[in-house]
Amino acid sequence: MAGTEPRVQYLAGFSCPLGGLAAGKPRVLCHEAEVFLSTGSEFVYVYDQEGGLLTAVYQFPDQVWHLQLLALRRALYVLCARRGIYCLSLEPPTRSASQTNEDNEDGELPSPVITVDPDACVLPDTTLCAFTVHDDILVALVQGPAQWKMQLFERPGPGEDRWPGGLVGEVELSTCTPPAGVPGKLTAPCFLPVLCCVSPPGSGVPSGHPQGCGGFMLEEALFGLLFGADATLLESPVILCGLPDGQLCCVVLKGLVTSRSAPGDPKALVKILHHLEEAIVFIGALKTEPQAGEAVESMPPCEDVYSDCLVALGHHGRTLAVKASWNKSGNLVPELREYLLPGPVLCAACGGGSRMYHSTPSDLCVVDLALEGTPLNSQHPQCGAPGGLPPMLCPASLSICSVLTLSVLSGTPAGGTELLALSAKGCLMTCRLDLNSERPGPTRMTTENAGRKIKELLSGIGNVSERVSFLKKAVNQRNKALTSLNEAMNVSCALLSSREGPPPVSCTTTTAWSRLQLQDVLMATCLLENSSDFSLDQGWTLCIQVLTSSSALDLDSAGSAVTYTIPVDRLSPGSQREVTLPLGPSESGVLDLPVTVNCTLFYSLREVVGGALAPSDPLEDPFLEEQPLDLLPEQEGICLPLSRHTVDMLQCLRFPSLVPPHGHVACPLAPAADLVDTFLETCRAPSSDLAGPAALRAKYLPPSIASIRVSAELLRAALEDSHSGVPLCSATLQWLLAENAALDIVRAQALSSVQGVAPDGTDIHLIIQEVAVTDLCLAGPIQAVEIQVESSSLADMCRIHHAIVGRMQTMVMEQAARGSSPPDLRVQYLRQIHANHEALLREVQTLRDRLCTEDEAVSCATAQRLLQVYKQLRSPSLVLL
């Protein structure tokens, strides 16, 4: 479609912000040699094509949204954002300021900037969004809080007072969605509404419609079908309005004017023609059936052009074409057809013929709406009988990108078309098109071109197929991630809300001794059980933290912590998962008790959500590169505590002397002896016993003893449910060893005392007996149960004493919650015992301070006294009530 002369000629450049001009607001109009241009800023430029210079620059108080030129009256109407409508006179004296720089020798003189006087605002209104002028009527569209409103005024001229004739008529259109912003503050809409005036033939409109007049004339048949008999009989112009929500509606101008003198239903004045379901950015008209032997493109501008096709374009390329055509019954009906053109549409323009030009960010295209190959009036030879619309539109590329506003100039003598355009970079240019062929159809292709075109299409199909497969994979990943997140939310809510009753997901911990690599090892077994209705799949991890206490013999040593992470893979409802891990002893051979085992469920958000957001090939989805994983929450995941279990000395005791009952399955109460150790023991002489520290303490030092007294009534109340019918001393021993592997043997033999072995091999004796405590209660002796611990190792005795005291504290708190009250006690006796204990504690502090300053020879007596004081503290005269 290109001619021999250059297609594009750049006229001038205008300033634009970084990144280019924004679409929707720039306007360009042309009358004779003058070009009126707005870039969407506060300036309006007047450019002389013949001289190639700017002749004037008008500065307005805010952004310019719309221009309309009345060439016959030499007036330019300008819509200024949040201000109103201004009217400028284009007479030469108003722009003679350019003569002030005649003495400058530079050929390109700077154009003067003319600040528009506020008195030039003929219609001030901050809510005005669009307007058009027809004869002596100015039609304005304002945006209210919930509705669009169309208002009619008598057209003011330059220099006239504001609101000269006042409001002629008004009507409310459809509801509108207010733009997002600060409440109570006006915000510029994303898309401005489109207004234009449609006139019927013979309505008295002056011949010729110069660019920018905002109107066109339709043939009588289409005009009557679209707007009804009233508009046709009244020969009334009609205002077409394209709204940002996609509605295309019309208002009969004379009907709106007379509605003030004869008011009726205002809704009857508005007719909705169509709904494009996207913002309407252009309304125009075409002549698809030119008269025989005449080219409408080359008609002089003074000739009246009656268009026979109405078009409306949406922002995303949806196009509506309306034309009068014959139906099967031989009646004239409006034919409406929707097309889909490349988008988004930045601007559009219609020439005098059947071609429409529209711009996208990547190209400027032309489409022809004439029905090629169909003879006109083939079935109905009446004069003026119309044809139909083409079934589809084939846009032809003009290889010009980023055109923001467009104007079609008069045809060239050679039969071509000249366009005036403004690009996103602020370049004003003309584009000459050679349209000698009747229609811009596809050119004939050779075999070589056809083969290349087929290869390109096949390659494109392959790329699209790969893209579809990638998107399907991404969608599947995100669906799985959403499913996993939903189940994680359900599990979290179930766990956090299950304060009463069994938890939906539980983890129980048990301990047992095992023989690993010729060494006795205490093993912990954590049983994870899923009793909920949901499955624990990808992203779930069972975290087991083992916390060891500091050594009792080394007060400066700190406890250690080891965390084990076990991925939970497809733990369905009702399933269990068992994890076994060692608790000790450590490499030094010492088992520091107590040991705390914390079980926690961890759900990794980055593993689940991050994998779904991260593309397998970032080059195939550049949008995903803009969504880094840093957008995820700062937390790596969520933690749900399941259980906390403390392993103390009572659970780790072994009882080699106990014989299991007959028929009972033997359990490993003591570690199996190593064969080499057994052989050396048998070969060693009786007098060759090794004198280790533990053996020396057991042989020459008295055992360390600690005791605790508990009220018999308190124990009966706590143990009556689980140990009914069992002697109180036996029931107490069974309660203390409830988590020990030897519980079944102790229960079967009804023992009240037992001899056990600590993890380091030291003997420990547990003795439980009933005693009577006198001098404490006014009513007489109190029956109590005394729990006595004996061991040759002071450290082991302290550990088992600590374990017993912990169980007693829990029992006393549970019984206190039930409201049990203690008997009447002798307060003076209790005060005396308390004072004695305070004195012993002060003596302990004094003795410990003395040990730090005395030498080794003197400190022996101090250490013996300190042990005696500790013994008195471990055997108090008080009873747990």
Residue type present at position 561:
A
Contacts (Cβ under 8 Å, ≥6 apart) of 815: 714, 717, 718
- Alpha-carbon distance of 508 to 502, in angstroms, equals 12
Please say whether the beta carbons of 777 and 877 come within 8 A. no
Q: Which of 188, 429, 412 has the alpha carbon at shortest distance from 300?
A: 412
Separation of CA 614 from chain center: 15
Identify the residue with better confidence: 456 or 787.
787
- Alpha-carbon distance of 433 to 431, in angstroms, equals 6
Which segment, 19-33, 101-115, 669-683, is predicted with the most confidence on average? 19-33
Residue 84: per-residue pLDDT: 92
Q: Which of 64, 1, 3, 57 has the alpha carbon at shortest distance from 38?
A: 64
End-to-end Cα distance, the chain: 107
Residue 210: per-residue pLDDT: 43
- Alpha-carbon distance of 588 to 611, in angstroms, equals 44
Residue 428: per-residue pLDDT: 93
Please say whether the beta carbons of 548 and 591 come within 8 A. no
Identify the residue with better confidence: 498 or 77.
77
Q: What is the mean pLDDT of residues 564-592?
A: 86
Whole-angstrom CA distances from 163 to 64, 351, 401, 403 are: 21, 35, 42, 37
Which stretch of 286-300, 444-458, 732-746 has the lowest confidence by average pLDDT? 286-300
Facing residues of 637 across strands? Answer: 604
Residue 249: per-residue pLDDT: 94
pLDDT band at 717 (very low <50, low <70, confident <90, very high): confident
Q: Which residues of 136-149 are buried (b: 16+ CB within 10 A; e: fewer)?
A: ebbbbbbbeeeebe
pLDDT in tens, 49-69: 888 889 999 999 999 999 999
Which stretch of 140-144, 380-384, 749-753 has the lowest confidence by average pLDDT? 380-384
Residue type present at position 716:
R
Residue 251: per-residue pLDDT: 92
Residue 455: per-residue pLDDT: 84
Q: Is pLDDT of 673 > 80?
A: no
3-state secondary structure at position 712: helix
Identify the residue with better confidence: 158 or 630.
158
Tokens representing residue 850 in the block: 């003395």
Please say whether the beta carbons of 756 and 799 come within 8 A. no
Residue 97: exposure state from Cβ atoms within 10 A (0-12, 13-18, ≥19): middle
Q: Is pLDDT of 314 > 90?
A: yes
Q: Which of 318, 314, 398, 326 has the alpha carbon at shortest distance from 355?
A: 398
Residue 550: per-residue pLDDT: 62
Query: Could you give phi then psi for residue 867, rounded to 5 degrees?
Result: -65, -35
Residue 211: per-residue pLDDT: 44
Helix count (H) and strand count (E) of the chain? Answer: 15, 42
C-beta neighbour count of 624 within 10 angstroms = 15
pLDDT in tens, 233-258: 888 899 999 999 999 999 998 888 77
Q: Is pLDDT of 326 > 70?
A: yes
pLDDT band at 623 (very low <50, low <70, confident <90, very high): very low
Whole-angstrom CA distances from 252 to 171, 200, 212, 240 are: 11, 12, 21, 9
Q: What percentage of the chain has pLDDT greater than the value 70?
A: 75
Q: Which of 574, 572, 503 has the alpha carbon at shortest distance from 537?
A: 572
Identify the residue with better confidence: 194 or 588.
194
C-beta neighbour count of 555 within 10 angstroms = 7
Tokens representing residue 339 in the block: 């097309």
pLDDT in tens, 137-186: 899 999 888 888 999 988 876 666 555 557 888 888 877 665 555 455 55
- Alpha-carbon distance of 478 to 476, in angstroms, equals 5
- Alpha-carbon distance of 133 to 325, in angstroms, equals 31
Identify the residue with better confidence: 747 or 685.
747
pLDDT in tens, 352-375: 788 999 999 888 999 988 875 343
Which stretch of 130-139, 301-310, 382-391, 789-798 has the lowest confidence by average pLDDT? 382-391
Which residue do the tokens 């720039």 mark? 26
Contacts (Cβ under 8 Å, ≥6 apart) of 331: none
- Alpha-carbon distance of 54 to 219, in angstroms, equals 39
Tokens representing residue 776 in the block: 């404490």
- Peptide linkage before 344 cis (omega within 30 of 0): yes
Residue 694: per-residue pLDDT: 56
Tokens representing residue 856 in the block: 């080794």
Q: What is the mean pLDDT of residues 787-812?
A: 87
- In order, the DSSP letters of 265-321 are -GGGGEEEEEE-SS-EEEEEEE--SPPTT--GGG--TTS--EE-EEEEEETTSEEEE
Facing residues of 216 across strands? Answer: 198
Residue 637: per-residue pLDDT: 84
Residue 822: per-residue pLDDT: 65
pLDDT in tens, 834-843: 788 888 888 8
Please say whether the beta carbons of 853 and 756 come within 8 A. no
Residue 263: per-residue pLDDT: 60
Residue 91: per-residue pLDDT: 74
pLDDT band at 104 (very low <50, low <70, confident <90, very high): very low
3-state secondary structure at position 43: strand
pLDDT band at 688 (very low <50, low <70, confident <90, very high): very low
Facing residues of 153 across strands? Answer: 138, 167
Q: What is the mean pLDDT of residues 211-226?
A: 81
- Peptide linkage before 702 cis (omega within 30 of 0): no
Q: Are strands 194-199 and 238-242 parallel, antiparallel or unpaired?
A: antiparallel
- Peptide linkage before 618 cis (omega within 30 of 0): no
- Alpha-carbon distance of 153 to 170, in angstroms, equals 9
Q: What is residue 40's DSSP assignment?
A: S
Residue 65: per-residue pLDDT: 92
pLDDT band at 111 (very low <50, low <70, confident <90, very high): low
Q: Is pLDDT of 134 > 80?
A: yes
Identify the residue with better confidence: 413 or 451.
451
Query: If you average pLDDT over every residue of the chain, what do you get?
Result: 78
Q: Is pLDDT of 864 > 50?
A: yes
Q: What is the mean pLDDT of residues 783-789?
A: 88
Q: What is residue 22's DSSP assignment?
A: P
Q: Is pLDDT of 429 > 80?
A: yes
